[in-house]
Structure 1
């Protein structure tokens, strides 16, 4: 389950990123609570999320070109340092009680621009830290487990700290936590970076990446799933402060518990993926977990009991992370190495870029029809969005079979054809 940790560079990244992610989740919870406390507006909750994520929709493809042309570690050091400056500025404004909603919106846009370059580069960087290709899927799954362990710990701590010392301290802790991931990047021992001799202009490189992804149906299908799940599924986290305060009649600690429960489910999902030894079968896993997420989300939207809501959050967390991480794993498996950065930037665009649109739409619709019906509609749309993928699964798995044979995932053509009857995957910061 933890075989990717035998690589020194990956261990360093795992530790540094783990510390930083706890701070990131603390800031996210603190910021959501701060915005809702200051404005009492569901729409502005969505607007802040929109501001922080829409830059990824616009800039991630360019970030992918950067990830293929420059040393990825240096790019990550720069993005993490800039994120620390952003968090420090936000913490100073909150702690001095001079924060206004326009400050939050502006700093959210700045963080979104930084994240556009960070996420695409980080996704492509995993393959450099995990030296053996067969351990790549395990490294991606452990990344997901790390992300969700932080989602379990960070919001729980933040919920308690907000009640005692306010939101500013949570944001300050996040600013300090970036030191850990920057240090881990600087301590890595990597092969000397070799710039690609074949130089293209940015637009030519972008066009090549889009054409490659669009013309290969399995890649296109996986990116589409991620985009639809982000568009219809991610808004649930934006609306959680409303459920915590107005429906479950709790405070910041209730919000922390809900996010923590989702984190427990996500961690279980990530560990479920980590113990898998092959990507074979992930296609059906994506279908089942998307449906699980959809049903749990619909049920949660009408729950008015904290314990039932916490239980349903476990299932939403499990379903979402397994679906997202499975798509990531399959993409990383089948993509050509020289186009990895650009394809993963499209993944980042779908993941981070569609979420803000969904958040704005959900916030606006919730103002009109209420958060309950809005979230139920999101769950229903997620269930519908997986249907085309399920219907085309057989055709897609035939297209990836030659890639599996070339990589040794299916050892020989003879055994590969035999295994194809069970092959269910058209081959998921973060």
Structure 2
């Protein structure tokens, strides 16, 4: 710990990557995100291969993401009350047993759709609790003046890893096998536990948590919801992750409908990763120019809607790829801006609960959206469903943008509360 603090003082004027604790935690988080998304897509592919039903793919996505409806806000509340470092280690460790069971059953050839459903759900419960808690400890690896950049850089690493994991997931089932995918995810969980255990600098987050008296979700929402930027994040995040984000979960169905098949699933998913990478670079420049996070979030929804509509008209791998690049770009604008707002532009003592609420939107709304989109794809067809989803998202984005123009800035509201954001 003394060495980490000495390094903080020595390189305080440098970027986040100049700090070894930040590099370690971001690297291991990215490996874990890669593994988690690889197994999520692999599970979806296994289900689709076993049942041939888009509805079943939507169900496994809902089971993977649905626990966040409760787990994400609960995890955020726990992080505001107890030691985030110890909690993150606990919940990461609890993900290992169901993954090992999935690995064993896949290796023996005994994995069925029902078993995938059940074990994915058992894995998803501690996963949903862990994610907001781990996000909260990242800013404590750098000095205060670098925390905005740290969140942006960590988000870039996470999002890139997630999309690359999604790309690898479909191919991995047919190459290295599902058992290896599940085993790798279990190993990544263990690696996160080890790195956090060996990072005493994260004890700073625990010391702050002990100072909080009322860490209930109700009190956090009561204080957070009046902040304009929080409301914009909630409305915009719900729109995007309910309507647009399920495209990633159901990409196998889209690829099959457009005649591109399993072989090109990875290409389509990589388009989202390309767009996210470009989006992060643009976002860094916009942040340096003082653009507000809630403005960027609104633009994320607005930019994503038209390519979703056009995806319903597309029948070519080339146009599909370009449209998904734009969606990935918008995804990065929205998700990273939402993270920054909920972590750094609210009073520090409610940041855990606000991050939990954001994760509720990211994963909970995605789960509900995937379930609904899977049903729509089966009932109305893929292209018709995409047209309708994109149109609703566009209308919602226009309303959200008009509403935001009538609201004051979020950070001003935080300043008025008498407490500085992080």
**TM-score computed with the length of structure 1 as normaliser:** 0.87
Which residue number in structure 2 is paired with residue 378 of structure 1? 389
The structure 1 residue matched to 2:361, chosen from 340, 346, 350, is 350
Does structure 1 retain, via aligned residues, the 8 Å contact 2:229–2:294?
A: no
* SS of 1:396 mapped into structure 2: coil
Which residue number in structure 2 is paired with residue 323 of structure 1? 334
Which residue number in structure 1 is paired with residue 279 of structure 2? 269
* Alignment of 1:71 onto 2:83: yes
Q: Trace 1:195-274 onto structure 2 (pairs within 5 A).
A: 196-197=210-211, 199-200=213-214, 205-251=216-262, 253-274=263-284
**TM-score computed with the length of structure 2 as normaliser:** 0.88
Give the Cα–Cα distance (whole angstroms) in 2 for the partners of residues 124 and 106 of structure 1. 29
List 4+ stretches of structure 1 deviating above 4 A: 402-409
Does structure 2 retain, via aligned residues, the 8 Å contact 1:87–1:171?
A: yes
1:84/1:270 CA distance change after superposition, 3 Å: farther
- Greater shift in the superposed pair: 208-217 or 38-47: 208-217
Which residue number in structure 2 is paired with residue 48 of structure 1? 60
* 1:331 Cα offset (Å): 2.4
Give the Cα–Cα distance (whole angstroms) in 2 for the partners of residues 301 and 358 of structure 1. 17
Give the Cα–Cα distance (whole angstroms) in 2 for the partners of residues 179 and 281 of structure 1. 37
* 1:15 Cα offset (Å): 1.3
Which residue number in structure 1 is paired with residue 121 of structure 2? 109
* SS of 1:397 mapped into structure 2: coil
The structure 2 residue matched to 1:389, chosen from 391, 397, 400, is 400
Q: Trace 1:87-126 onto structure 2 (pairs within 5 A).
A: 87-126=99-138
Give the Cα–Cα distance (whole angstroms) in 2 for the partners of residues 385 and 401 of structure 1. 25
Which residue number in structure 2 is paired with residue 422 of structure 1? none
Give the Cα–Cα distance (whole angstroms) in 1 for the partners of residues 338 and 288 of structure 2. 16
* SS of 1:18 mapped into structure 2: helix
Question: Structure 2, unaligned stretches of length 5 or more?
Answer: 1-13
Give the Cα–Cα distance (whole angstroms) in 1 for the partners of residues 289 and 192 of structure 2. 29
Give the Cα–Cα distance (whole angstroms) in 2 for the partners of residues 343 and 288 of structure 1. 21
Which residue number in structure 2 is paired with residue 31 of structure 1? 43
Give the Cα–Cα distance (whole angstroms) in 1 for the partners of residues 64 and 16 of structure 2. 31
* Alignment of 1:189 onto 2:200: yes
Which residue number in structure 1 is paired with residue 297 of structure 2? 286
User: 1:32-58, CA deviations, whole angstroms, 9 ceiling, x for partnerless residues?
Assistant: 111100011111111111112221112
Give the Cα–Cα distance (whole angstroms) in 1 for the partners of residues 70 and 414 of structure 2. 31
* Alignment of 1:401 onto 2:415: no
Does structure 1 retain, via aligned residues, the 8 Å contact 2:224–2:350?
A: no
Give the Cα–Cα distance (whole angstroms) in 2 for the partners of residues 407 and 72 of structure 1. 25
Question: Structure 1, unaligned stretches of length 5 or more?
Answer: 410-426
Give the Cα–Cα distance (whole angstroms) in 2 for the partners of residues 16 and 398 of structure 1. 35
* 1:118 Cα offset (Å): 0.9
* 1:241 Cα offset (Å): 0.5
Which residue number in structure 1 is paired with residue 5 of structure 2? none
User: 1:114-133, CA deviations, whole angstroms, 9 ceiling, x for partnerless residues?
Assistant: 1221122123223322321x
* Alignment of 1:11 onto 2:26: no
* 1:389 Cα offset (Å): 2.7
1:103/1:295 CA distance change after superposition, 3 Å: same
* 1:393 Cα offset (Å): 2.7
* 1:310 Cα offset (Å): 1.4
Give the Cα–Cα distance (whole angstroms) in 1 for the partners of residues 290 and 101 of structure 2. 43
User: 1:234-256, CA deviations, whole angstroms, 9 ceiling, x for partnerless residues?
Assistant: 221122111222322322x3112
1:283/1:122 CA distance change after superposition, 3 Å: same
- Greater shift in the superposed pair: 158-167 or 68-77: 158-167
Cα RMSD after superposing both structures:
2.5
Does structure 1 retain, via aligned residues, the 8 Å contact 2:28–2:192?
A: yes
* SS of 2:95 mapped into structure 1: helix
User: 1:270-306, CA deviations, whole angstroms, 9 ceiling, x for partnerless residues?
Assistant: 2322343265343433333322211111112322211
Which residue number in structure 2 is paired with residue 175 of structure 1? 186
Equivalenced residues, count: 404
The structure 2 residue matched to 1:22, chosen from 19, 34, 51, is 34
User: 1:392-411, CA deviations, whole angstroms, 9 ceiling, x for partnerless residues?
Assistant: 334433453364799999xx
* SS of 1:51 mapped into structure 2: helix
Which residue number in structure 2 is paired with residue 59 of structure 1? 71
Does structure 2 retain, via aligned residues, the 8 Å contact 1:16–1:182?
A: no
1:350/1:187 CA distance change after superposition, 3 Å: same
Does structure 1 retain, via aligned residues, the 8 Å contact 2:251–2:265?
A: yes
